[in-house]
Amino acid sequence: MTLPTEIPLQAYLVLAAVLFCVGVWGLINSRNAVRVLMSIELMLNAVNINLMAFSSYLDGQLIRGQVFAIFVITVAAAEAAVGLAILLSLYRNRETVDMERFNLLRW
Amino acid sequence: MTIASTTQLICFAVLSLTLVVGAFGVVLLPNIVYSAFLLGGVFISVAGLYLLLNASFVAAAQILVYVGAVNVLILFAIMLVNKREDLSAIPGLAVRRLLSALVCAGLFVLLVRVAFTTPWALPGPASIGEEATARIGEHLFSDYLLPFELASVLLLMAMIGAIVLARRDVFASDVITGEPADQGLLEKARTPLLTSKP
């Protein structure tokens, strides 16, 4: 299988940049705590796209980027499980999922 | 298996369109259930991009882990905390959104500039294509063995931690009277069980 030379590397990088920036915006502005976790998943996927693009275009023989992407997927799965457990615990204690009311550690 | 370059371009355009539209939908839609399903669409589009990048194993892992596990977990969390609540208005919310959008746009411009000004070492070595799965296995059991084992320990810790955090301390029967205890749903207020009395 030949390298896809028609799609430039920069196309993947720009796509990942769009995904990452949308994720950052959602992370800052979401009021719902579940949506914050979804935004984190978007950002992790953007990083994974970058890793895979570099692995395919610049490191075609020793695809180290793919190995790193697998590790990122593993850590993302663990993060999602623990994050949602924390969310359930918070919901039981505060009776809300509004991020503005999780201000226990604020002043 | 070589896909023609035009087909690749069309696939890339369609996948990136669904990816961007889905990502904006995840962030902007008011109904969180729609957001969760669009997030599944985003994950599937990312898996399609991996297939375009000659990485079938990681695409399969993406489908299995993200669509099959993380998305279902998020849907379960939405179901468990599904309470209609009117979020109280916050002064200056529009200004905050605008400012953060400006910051994100600046970050995007920076990233695009880096992507286009860096002299990438292109073209790199030829892709090994379908040999990738075997090569990943060699990596995982030779030079990345320690991270591989650490990942298994991390998954075990996350599993135990999630169970400990999400568990409720309810007992099937009251410890003193022996009557069946009220195992309320998560939405109900916590029923005082006779667990702490002497």
Write the pLDDT tens digit of every residue in B35-88.
999 999 999 999 999 999 888 999 999 999 999 999 999 999 898 887 777 777
pLDDT at B122: 79
pLDDT at B137: 92
pLDDT above 70: percentage of residues in chain B: 82
Please give the Cα distance from A20 to B125 (Å, whole number).
Answer: 28
Among the ranges given (B16-25, B60-69, B178-187), the one the predictor scored with the smallest mean pLDDT: B178-187
β-pair partners for A32: A98
Mean pLDDT rounded to a whole number for chain B: 84
Of residues A22, A70, A80, nearest to B136 (C-beta): A70
- Mind listing the pLDDT tens digit of every residue in chain A (107 residues)? 444 457 888 999 999 999 999 999 999 998 888 999 999 999 999 999 999 999 999 988 888 999 999 999 999 999 999 999 998 888 888 778 888 877 777 76
Can you tell me the mean pLDDT for B139-167?
92
3-state secondary structure of B173: strand
pLDDT at B45: 95
User: What b/e readout covers A33-45, taking b as 16+ CB neighbours within 10 angstroms?
Assistant: bbbbbbbbbbbbb
Candidates B14, B15, B58, partner chain A, best to mutate (most A CBs within 10 A):
B58
How many other CB atoms are there within 10 angstroms of residue B162's CB atom? Answer: 20
Is the pLDDT at B198 greater than 50? The verdict is: no
pLDDT at A51: 94
User: CB pairs under 8 A, 24+ apart, for A84-87?
Assistant: A84/A34, A84/A37, A84/B73, A84/B74, A84/B76, A84/B77, A84/B162, A84/B166, A85/B161, A85/B162, A85/B163, A85/B165, A85/B166, A86/B165, A87/A33, A87/A34, A87/A37, A87/B77, A87/B81
Candidates A35, A94, A96, A99, partner chain B, best to mutate (most B CBs within 10 A):
A35
Among the ranges given (A96-100, B99-103, B159-163), the one the predictor scored with the smallest mean pLDDT: A96-100
Query: To 10 degrees, the CA torsion angle through B64, B66, B71, B74?
Result: 130
Cross-chain Cβ contact B127/A60 below 8 Å: yes
Quote the minimal CA–CA distance from A103 to chain B in Å. Answer: 14
Please state, in angstroms and as integers, the Cα–Cα distance from residue B93 to each residue in A24, A34, A103, B85, following that order. 17, 19, 17, 18
Cross-chain Cβ contact B12/A26 below 8 Å: no
Burial of B180 (0-12, 13-18, 19+ CB in 10 A): exposed
Burial of B87 (0-12, 13-18, 19+ CB in 10 A): middle
Place of tokens 């990438």: B120
Give yes or no for B115 touching A (CB within 8 A).
Answer: yes
